[in-house]
Homo-oligomer: A and B are copies of this chain.
Amino acid sequence: MFLKNAWYVACTPDEIEGRPLGRKICNESMVFFRGADGAVTALEDFCPHRGAPLSLGFMRDGQLVCGYHGLTMGVEGKCVSMPGQRVGGFPALRRFPAVERYGFVWVWPGDPAQADPAKIHHLEWAENPEWAYGGGLYHIACDYRLMIDNLMDLTHETYVHASSIGQAEIEEAAPETKLEGETVVTRRFMEGITPPPFWAAALRGNGLADNVPCDRWQICRFSAPSHVMIEVGVAHAGNGGYHADARHKASSVVVDFITPETDTSIWYFWGMARNFKPHDTELTATIREGQGKIFAEDLEMLEAQQRNLLAHSTRNLLKLNIDSGGVQSRKMLDRLIAAEQQAQAASQASGAGQPSAVAS
């Protein structure tokens, strides 16, 4: 169960550099490539000739050539040529709206008519030169909502990430969860704590003492379909905490784009955006490596949790105050998914046709 009429992160530009990329998103096998004008295209990954994945092919003059028999596919999803063939009557492929923005390729698996790029959330850190970003991609065999739960309840840091960002004070500080418009926000503040290893290093990286009492904050923001942005940071105590001046703190935004692959697997685009020393590429690489190790610690837990839930499918889970972020995020999703399905049913009842060209 996921939203289809939504923008998901599909890949990063380096993944389609000079070659097509095959990736399943929301149960649809897609092929991504750049056309002659450099714009990104997403099509069904299925050659209309003999059914080979087009992603096994190659790029030629901004067109995608099937690696089996040379059928050449244009960015519109229409076959543009094939040696020795008249291709006018070839069935078109389904095309998925795709755009490149903020350093990511975004795809809309649902009704193309509703795919407005303006609906992509604004990402200040991706465009402002005062910010730097580094990140990576993990494939995890779990329902995308388990990852939302994970990120909207950072209590788990104390256990899963005990050696880097975890500390007992996290679980001692009750979080507060609110719905703010279309965003679920969970806030947690800790005061006068000792910064854990990751943050001690960040303070040093920012030229600040790491052995003084600090205030620490975590502000998690979920928005549909499955994005979680988390403001995190520490400030030398007594300077206003979250609101402290930049010269007293180290802070950043944890970036999480969770793209469902299937009902029980995800493409997890993780990263960190920071607005200190934005031009220090070595620091970006160091942070990226550290974050990559920390976030890999979630994999085993989430996949084991998924297997356990599938094996005990009728059991109810607890919903504690710390789970409120995840619970409210799921409620928002349930509401949006129900509305989407209702609209689709209404549209079909009124006799409207399929929204996009589908080869039969």
Contact = CB atoms under 8 A, between A and B. Distances in A.
A305 interface: yes
Contacts of A304: 52-53, 56
Contacts of A29: 308, 311
Contacts of A65: 159
Interface in A162-177: 168, 171-172, 174
B149 A322 contact: no
Given A46-B315, A318-B90, A305 B52 contact: yes
A70 B171 contact: yes
Given A304-B52, A305-B51, A84 B159 contact: no
A309 interface: yes
Contacts of A309: 51
Contacts of A174: 84
Interface string A180-204: 0000000000000000000000000
A317 B50 contact: yes
A68 B48 CA distance: 47
A51 B308 contact: yes
Given A29-B308, A84-B171, A158 B51 contact: no
Contacts of A212: none
Of A45, A68, A301, A315, chain B has the most CB atoms within 10 Å of the CB of A68
A128 interface: no
A70 B318 contact: no
Interface in A65-91: 65-70, 82-85, 90-91
Interface in A28-69: 29, 45-46, 48-53, 56-57, 65-69
Contact of A68 (B45, B50, B90, B160): B160
Copies in the complex: 3
Most buried by B among A52, A85, A149, A305: A52
Given A51-B305, A317-B50, A69 B322 contact: yes
Contact of A359 (B69, B301, B315): B315
A324 to B, nearest CB: 12
A156 interface: yes
A320 interface: yes
Give chain A's interface residue range (CB within 8 Å of chain B): 35 or more
Contact of A156 (B48, B69, B153): B69
A343 to B, nearest CB: 25
A119 interface: no
Contact of A56 (B50, B57, B301, B323): B301
A301 B311 CA distance: 30
Given A50-B305, A56-B300, A69-B156, A85 B311 contact: no
B171 A46 contact: no
Q: Which residue, of A29, A300, A317, has the highest number of chain B Cβ atoms within 10 A?
A: A317
A311 to B, nearest CB: 7
A159 B69 contact: yes
Given A83-B158, A85-B320, A90-B318, 10 more contacts: A48-B318, A49-B318, A51-B312, A68-B160, A69-B155, A69-B158, A69-B159, A83-B168, A85-B321, A315-B359
12 contacts: A48-B318, A50-B149, A52-B304, A65-B159, A68-B160, A68-B305, A69-B156, A70-B159, A83-B158, A83-B171, A84-B171, A316-B360
